[in-house]
Chain A
Amino acid sequence: MSVIDQARSEINAALNTLARRFGSTADEAEKTAIGAAIDDLNDELTLLDQAALLQAASSISSATAILERAVAAVKLGPFDGYLAALESHLTRLNVLSGKAHAGDSLESAAIAAPPGGGSGKKGKKGKKGKKGKKGKKGKKAKKKARKAKKSGRSAAAVTGLESASLEAVAPLLLTSTAFADLRAEYQDCFDRCVLKPESAGNVAYYVKRLRQGQPNYQLVEQQIKVPWVFVGIIHGMECGFNFAAHLHNGDKLTARTVQVPKGRPLAGEPPFTWLESALDALRLKKLDQVADWTVPHMLYLLEGYNGFGYRRRGLPSPYLWSFSNIYDKGKFVADGRFDPEAVSKQCGAALMMQAARNT
Chain B
Amino acid sequence: MSSHRFIAIALLAIACAGCATSTPVAEVRVVGKAFEDLNGASAPLFDDLAVAERINGKEAARIRVEKRAKGEKIDPALDRCEKLLLAEVPGDVKVQVGFCGPDSYYYSEIADPPGTASFRRSIAAIQGYTNVLLILAEGRNLEAAQAEVQALVGNVGGALEIAGAGAAGVTLKVFTESIQPLLDIAARRANAKELARVVKDVSPKAVDVIAKLRETAPVLFTMLTEQPLLRFRDKDGGLKVKAIAEAEKNRIDAYRIAVSNYVVLLDQYEHLLQQLVAAYDTEGKTLTLAGLVEQSAQLSAQADAWRRTYSALRMGF
Binding site for B on A (CB under 8 A): 8, 15, 19, 22-23, 31, 34-35, 38-39, 42-43, 45-61, 63-64, 66-68, 70-71, 74-80, 82-83, 86-87, 89-91, 93-94, 96-98, 100-101, 103-104, 201-202, 205, 208-209, 212, 240, 345
| 21 examples of A-B residue contacts, CB within 8 angstroms | A35-B235, A43-B67, A45-B226, A57-B114, A59-B215, A61-B121, A64-B125, A64-B209, A67-B208, A67-B209, A71-B128, A78-B141, A78-B187, A83-B187, A93-B1, A97-B156, A100-B169, A101-B163, A103-B163, A104-B162, A208-B155
The interface on chain B, measured as residues whose beta carbon lies within 8 A of the other chain's beta carbons, has a size of 79
Contacts across chains A and B counted by CB atoms under 8 Å: 212
Question: Is there an interface contact between A63 and B132, defined as CB atoms closer than 8 Å?
Answer: no
User: In the complex, A53→B234 CA distance in Å?
Assistant: 23
> Known contacts A79-B190, A97-B155; is A71 also within 8 Å of B141 by CB?
no
Bitwise interface map of B from 183 to 212 toward A, beta carbon under 8 Å scored 1, else 0: 100111011001000100110011011011
Question: Chain A interface: which of B37-45, B53-61, B246-254, B309-317?
Answer: B53-61
B182 part of interface (Cβ distance < 8 Å): yes
User: In the complex, A95→B216 CA distance in Å?
Assistant: 59
Question: Is there an interface contact between A60 and B122, defined as CB atoms closer than 8 Å?
Answer: yes
> Known contacts A19-B233, A78-B142, A89-B1; is A57 also within 8 Å of B132 by CB?
no
> Known contacts A71-B128, A75-B194; is A93 also within 8 Å of B57 by CB?
no
Across the interface, name the chain B residue whose C-beta is closest to A82: B186
Question: Is there an interface contact between B63 and A43, defined as CB atoms closer than 8 Å?
Answer: yes
> Known contacts A75-B194, A90-B152; is A47 also within 8 Å of B78 by CB?
yes
Question: Is there an interface contact between A205 and B182, defined as CB atoms closer than 8 Å?
Answer: no
> Known contacts A52-B219, A53-B223; is A74 also within 8 Å of B57 by CB?
no
Interface of A, helix, strand, loop or mixed by DSSP:
helix
> Known contacts A42-B230, A60-B119, A205-B162; is A74 also within 8 Å of B155 by CB?
no
User: In the complex, A250→B83 CA distance in Å?
Assistant: 72
Binding site for A on B (CB under 8 A): 1, 9, 12, 53, 56-57, 59-60, 63-64, 67, 74-75, 77-78, 114-115, 117-119, 121-122, 125-126, 128-129, 132, 135-136, 141-142, 145, 149, 152-153, 155-156, 158-160, 162-165, 169, 172, 175-176, 179, 182-183, 186-188, 190-191, 194, 198, 201-202, 205-206, 208-209, 211-213, 215-216, 219-220, 222-223, 226, 230, 233-235, 239
For the complex formed, measure the closest distance between the CB of B66 and the CB atoms of chain A, giving whole angstroms.
Answer: 8
User: In the complex, A70→B209 CA distance in Å?
Assistant: 12
User: In the complex, A32→B20 CA distance in Å?
Assistant: 78
Question: Is there an interface contact between B125 and A67, defined as CB atoms closer than 8 Å?
Answer: yes
User: In the complex, A51→B223 CA distance in Å?
Assistant: 11
Question: Is there an interface contact between B183 and A59, defined as CB atoms closer than 8 Å?
Answer: no
For the complex formed, measure the closest distance between the CB of A243 and the CB atoms of chain B, giving whole angstroms.
Answer: 12
For the complex formed, measure the closest distance between the CB of A235 and the CB atoms of chain B, giving whole angstroms.
Answer: 14
